A and B are shown apart, each in its own frame.
Chain A
């Protein structure tokens, strides 16, 4: 097991932080299919790694979420891969992957050593590529998150996740090869998020995650050339929260399965905003770079807010707020 361990001779801020979680007196657990998370807070794919196991009390999170695993090994995009503009962070990392075999050999043991369930993110370049990856991952991991924000090579590069028929095809195929919970991570740029969420639900998904970074193109202010080597990247951070709030609201009204919100969550209040429009859980991404413990802070903040209001559930907390 990986644990935050203090150097007794030269203490740093980690140990004091890990030792002061406050009493987890409120049951905030949430079910994603057959998987129960003790808190509705987890990292966003790509914004977490087992490296954090020694820096933050990972056990206070509901789950760990891996970087997306593709069917075959692939490299990432050319430099520069990320930048910060006033509107947020833009990344075009390109999701390098070692494939399921490489993932299981090198990364998975480090995730398994963490004290939380591992949700393995899975990607594909066409709908048929997802199920073989899930099958190859077998009994590893507690759930699968299908990253359908990938260009579909069968359909001239349109995002798989923007096409309800393609979503259905992906989920139905994955459902046949695993009994573990399936989460479908939907993209922002879709004609109808409700149709996309319904397609996932009808094909057997246990939850949808709404949403992902937003395609964007940052230019250098001086040279007016694209900053990113890939020209286009994904915008993330607090500025995308209102955009994703709308999508979460629409998706939550369309499906019965849990909606996991992902977009600009930095604080417990951001999480409560998402819960108030129908989300059951949140993912924390960009905020973790500046504050590695950001997701832990959100989880602790939710406990604190419920304790302060003397309520036992987030639903009760939101009802109190709504009655103002």
Chain B
């Protein structure tokens, strides 16, 4: 009965997708707000024709892109993103650029152009077309965009939490933390160990890794929360709570981070994702999940975020 099995699998996938979307929306309800005005001025976004230097599989599930753009590599702040214009592929034209977090920034040296590294999953028409662009090809990119992660002066330690491709959203913060001498732990979460991104980056940046997966149950929200409390509730310097928590990857994870932040009495910054068209703020396509009066336009993920303050609502 193959048809029956296929129908059951489809129903299951649809139910999972619905449940995930609903859980995420519930988790984010009332959770995030726009961060107070930042001290560091945001760089002027540019568009650039960036040569693709590397385009290869990253783990089981994703693809890694390294793009040459000295301008963007020089100015991009941690947690900012790019709009990637996807060239036509096999007769299919992709209309909207795709927003992607900047995973790594490597400024220009005397003999090398500056580069930005991005990681993406092939999930639909746009990313399938993107996956076909060869090394040596050129991608048109706009950025750096949005408001990223920001460390307050005097921050000594940080807990970063990333899940799936969301690990790329927080890796820029790990780069800044290393440069500022901030003691950093990063939770890498994913479905399977073979899919976990960021191990090599964390090793390079001297960031301690806590790897958790759905496979062994360690990424389960209750388990993870209990594990992190046990990890940071101690009395020794290594075990005192972090000064800040930064998170990217899912609404439920942002909520978990906010709960930890409330428990430890420290601020939490959460990076969100959204469907976008312009990435600059004028199209108003990416309303952030922030409760507002119906007569007032709320904040936008692209221009007011993607990084927001996350706090458990009092009501």
Which residues of A come within 8 Å of B, CB atoms? 7, 9-14, 46-52, 54-55, 67, 72-84, 86, 88-89, 91, 93, 96-98, 220, 222-225, 237-238, 286-293
B270 to chain A, nearest CB (A): 16
Query: Nearest residue in B to A292 (C-beta to C-beta)?
Result: B47
CB of B94 within 8 A of CB of A290, answer yes
The 9 closest A-B pairs by CB, nearest first: A49-B282, A96-B297, A12-B71, A51-B280, A12-B46, A82-B285, A10-B71, A12-B48, A10-B70
Of B14, B92, B275, B298, the residue contacting A83 (CB under 8 A) is: B275
Question: B268-315: which have CB < 8 Å to A?
Answer: 274-278, 280-287, 289, 292-298
Interchain CB contact under 8 A, A290 and B13: no
The answer to whether B278 and A49 have CB atoms under 8 Å apart is yes
Cα-based distance from A9 to B70 in the complex (angstroms): 9
B283 and A46 contact, CB distance less than 8 A: yes
Please give, as numbers and ranges, the residues of chain A lying within 8 Å of B94 by CB-CB distance: 84, 290
Residue of B108, B126, B274, B287 most packed against chain A (CB within 10 A): B287
User: Does the CB pair A223–B17 fall under 8 Å?
Assistant: yes
Given A12-B47, A81-B285, A290-B97, residue A86 in contact with residue B125 (CB < 8 A): yes
Q: A86-B125, A223-B14 are in contact. Are A79 and B287 (CB under 8 A)?
A: yes
Q: Given A14-B46, A82-B277, A93-B283, are A76 and B126 also a contact pair (CB < 8 Å)?
A: no
Query: Is the pair B284, A93 in contact by a Cβ cutoff of 8 Å?
Result: yes
Chain B residues whose C-beta falls within 8 Å of the C-beta of A289 in the assembled complex: 95-97, 277-278, 283
Residues in B with CB closer than 8 Å to A89 are: 95-96, 277
- The answer to whether A290 and B96 touch across the interface, beta carbons within 8 angstroms, is yes
A82 touches B295 (CB 8 A): no
* Residues of chain B within 8 A of A52, CB atoms compared: 280, 282
How far is the CB of B99 from the nearest CB of chain A, in Å?
A: 11
CB-CB nearest in chain B for A14: B46
Name 23 interchain pairs, CB-CB below 8 A, sorted by A: A7-B71, A9-B74, A10-B70, A10-B108, A12-B71, A14-B48, A49-B280, A54-B45, A55-B280, A73-B296, A74-B297, A75-B292, A75-B295, A76-B287, A79-B274, A82-B276, A82-B285, A86-B125, A91-B283, A93-B285, A238-B93, A287-B95, A292-B142
Residues of B within 8 A of A84 (CB): 94-96, 125-126
Of B71, B86, B286, which is in contact with the most chain A CB atoms at under 10 Å from its CB? B71
- Contact of B47 (CB < 8 Å), options: A55, A76, A93: A55
Given contacts A50-B282, A80-B275, 10 further A-B contacts (CB under 8 A): A12-B47, A12-B71, A13-B49, A51-B281, A67-B284, A76-B298, A79-B287, A82-B285, A225-B18, A290-B86
- The smallest C-beta distance from A173 to any residue of chain B, in angstroms, reads 24
Q: Are A73 and B295 in contact (CB under 8 A)?
A: yes
Which residues of B have CB within 8 Å of A292?
A: 47, 142
Chain A residue, CB-CB nearest to B72: A12
Cα–Cα, bound, A80→B86 (Å): 21
Contact A81 B46 (CB under 8 A): no
Q: Are A81 and B85 in contact (CB under 8 A)?
A: no
Q: Find chain A residues with CB under 8 A from B140 CB.
A: 13, 290-291
**A98, B295: Cα distance in complex, Å:** 9
Contact B275 A81, beta carbon cutoff 8 Å: yes
Chain A residues with CB under 8 Å of B206's CB are none
Cα A14 to Cα B13 in complex, Å, equals 44
- B180 → A minimal CB distance (Å): 23
Task: Produce 1/0 per residue, B73-100, CB < 8 A to A.
Answer: 0110000000001100000111111000
Residue of A nearest to B75 (CB): A10
Partner of B285, one of A73, A91, A287: A91
* Complex CA distance for A74 and B14, rounded to whole angstroms: 35
Residues of B within 8 A of A54 (CB): 44-45
CB contacts (< 8 Å) of A12 on chain B: these are 46-48, 69, 71-72
Which chain B residues border A224 with CB–CB below 8 Å? 14
CA distance A228 to B254 in the complex (A): 23
B46 with A55: CB separation less than 8 A: yes
**Distance in Å: Cβ of A57 to nearest Cβ of chain B:** 12
